[in-house]
Structure formats: C-alpha cells, structure tokens
A and B are shown apart, each in its own frame.
Chain A
Amino acid sequence: MRADALDRLIHERLRLGIVSALAVNDSLSFSDLKKLMKTTDGNLSVHARKLEEAEYITCTKSFEGRMPKTEYRLTSAGRRALERYLDHMEALIRATRER
C-alpha cells in the first residue's frame, strides 16, 4: 500500500473533517459545520465546493423564514470514499508496523 494511493481530495484536513462529520449525521447546516470545524465562511465554502464537485457531498439551499439556509449531506460516493480512505490508512499503519 503506497501513501500516494490515498484519496488526496479528502486527505486535506478540513475536507476530511467535513466528510467525517457528515458521516455521522443525516445532514448538517453550513453554520453547524463552521462551528464544528472552527473555520471561516470562505474557507469552508471553498473546501465544501471541492467535495461537491467530486460528488462526495450534496448542497441544498433553502430559506428558513427570511434567512437563507445551506445544508450538506454525504452522498454514497462520499461514504465509500471515506471507507476507502480509512482502509488505506489502516493498511499503511499495518505495513509500517510490519517493517
């Protein structure tokens, strides 16, 4: 197992956090994710957009009263990517220990 086989898209810390948080929730709002990741609006938007483009997450925009609300959900492709990533990490750790 090679380290460069890791999914670079979710290897980045913030994107990994978004995917991990969504893996244990049906959906999370933009503000929930921002609080959870302790990041800025701009940073979260950029990284969430990359995950959206890869179809790892979906984004739904709506209004709650007059307030806009952005909600994210993990897709089945995103869940599979996280599982693959965890498998890779475990394999890397096993290989390192065997050396």
Chain B
Amino acid sequence: MDNLRFIRDTMEAAGAFTAVSGWGMVAVGVIAAIAATVASAQHSVLASIYTWMVAAVLAPCVMLWAIVRKARRAHVPLLSGPGRKFVLSFSPPMFVGALLTVVLYRAGLVEAIPGMWLLLYGTAVVAGGAFSVRIVPVMGFCFMLAGTLAMFTPATWNDWIMAAAFGGLHIAFGVPIAVRHGG
C-alpha cells in the first residue's frame, strides 16, 4: 500500500512538469499581439477594452485546449493533484478580475481596467504557479510588474503595456516551457 502511495505521490509531483502548456502560452501570446494591433487602431478606450475582452474569451479556450492535449499526450489525468491545485489557486483572482471589470466599467473607470487585469492575472499565475515549475510564478510576477506600470502611466500606454505583457511575456515564457517541460 505504501508503494502505491509513493507511486501516486511521485506521479503527482512529477506532473508539475507538465501541467502548463508552453505552446498554449505561445498561442495566447499571438492572440494578444493581434488584439493589441486591433485595439491600438480603435478611437476610444472603451472600444479598445471591448477588443481585449474578445481576446480574453478566446485565449482561455485555446489555452484549455492546449492543456488538455498536453495532458493526454503525457497520459496524465487533467485534474490530478497539481492540476487540481493549479485550477483552485488560479480561479479566484480570475473571478475577482471579471467582477471588478463590471464594477469599474459601471463606475466609468475603464482606464483602470487594463492595469487591474494585468495585476490579477499575474496574481492568478503566481498562485497557480506555486504548484508548477519555477518559471511559471516568475512569469506571474512579471505580469504584476506590468500591471503596476499600467496603473501609474497614461492610459494611452495601456495597449502597448498589454501587448508587451499578454503578447510578449506569454511568448517569451511559453517557448522555454514548451522546450524544457514537454510541450
């Protein structure tokens, strides 16, 4: 019985190496880069926010597909120990982000939305990444820095900061994760 527990524990701990899809992150980065190009062509902050909202719906779908594909290829149950912990830690900040988007929108504070998104996405990645390889929480901290920057710079910078973070950071961190940690 002890040996079976050891096998399960080892597989769960080793599963941290495969939980996050690097190629999924690269795809999310590409979606963000396209969104940034479209958003920067808009004439109002609100239109720009709508563009990012479309990307915010599309990107998690692509990421989820990539994670499922990676888990199947590695013969790992999707919600095994580390996967379950990742989802449980990642979800609360994302829920708060969605809620605050509505609150800030209704209060007419749309210019604060990009910074809040970056800060809370970074928080979610840091929290979820605690159960993954070290590079994942490091990426989360970078998102939090980008969010802080967006909060204290002119709103006209928002699209570029979002492009650098959601586009650049996902691609920059996604490639090494894909190469070193199984896809």
Residues of A within 8 A of B (CB): 11, 13, 16-17, 20-29, 32, 36, 86, 89-90, 93
Q: Is B7 located at the chain interface by the 8 A CB criterion?
A: yes
Task: Give the secondary structure class of B's interface.
Answer: helix
In the complex, which of the residues B4, B7, B13, B76 has the most CB atoms of chain A within 10 Å of its own CB atom?
Answer: B7
- When the two chains form their complex, are residues A89 and B3 in contact, meaning their CB atoms are under 8 A apart? yes
- When the two chains form their complex, are residues A26 and B10 in contact, meaning their CB atoms are under 8 A apart? no
Q: Is B11 located at the chain interface by the 8 A CB criterion?
A: yes
Segment of B14-22, B54-62, B145-153 engaged in the interface with chain A: B14-22
Contacts of A22 in B (CB 8 A): 14
- When the two chains form their complex, are residues A21 and B183 in contact, meaning their CB atoms are under 8 A apart? no
Interface residues of B in 71-86 (CB under 8 A from A): 73-76
A56 to B126 Cα, complex, angstroms: 36
A-B contact count (CB 8 A): 51
- When the two chains form their complex, are residues B10 and A20 in contact, meaning their CB atoms are under 8 A apart? yes
Residues of B within 8 A of A (CB): 1, 3-4, 6-7, 10-11, 13-15, 17-18, 73-76, 180, 182-183
- When the two chains form their complex, are residues A36 and B1 in contact, meaning their CB atoms are under 8 A apart? no
- When the two chains form their complex, are residues B7 and A27 in contact, meaning their CB atoms are under 8 A apart? no
Shortest Cβ gap from A27 to chain B (Å): 7
Which of B10, B73, B76 interacts with A17 by CB under 8 Å?
A: B10
A22 to B15 Cα, complex, angstroms: 10
Shortest Cβ gap from A35 to chain B (Å): 10
